[in-house]
Amino acid sequence: MKKILIVEDHADIRRLIRMTLEFEDFEILEAENGEKGLALALQFRPDLILLDVMMPGALNGLDVCRTLKSNPNPPRVLLLTARGRSEDLEAGMQAGAEAYLVKPFSPLQLIENINQQLEMT
């Protein structure tokens, strides 16, 4: 069973993502900020991280992504963000993300992106 970590500061968005993923065969972990997300990622080694870019606290999504990608055998990262400008996409890719999905997105778009990323693991 593939393990997915959702790192998102808005509880409603985390809940919607979890509900979308519950129809699939995934083990789901959740964190509400970058610090907790990084700790869970290092402890549980998920196959994929759905990572919000803008979060409160010491670590935003780009910081978490860069840190994870500096470790051996890093997980795949799908950034989820309201920021859709080309420079935002470029910053996400430079941080090491494999994919970038702009909010709002449909459950179908999310599942398609997740499946694409997990096929590459």
Homologous superfamily (CATH) of 2-119 is Response regulator (3.40.50.2300)
pTM over 0.85: yes
What pLDDT does 85 receive? 87
What pLDDT does 23 receive? 85
What pLDDT does 102 receive? 93
Rounded Cα–Cα distance for residues 21 and 23 (Å): 5
What pLDDT does 16 receive? 94
What pLDDT does 43 receive? 97
Give the mean pLDDT per block of 10 residues along the chain (121 residues): 96 95 93 98 97 94 97 95 88 95 93 94 74
* 3-class DSSP state of 43: helix
Chain mean position to CA 58: 17
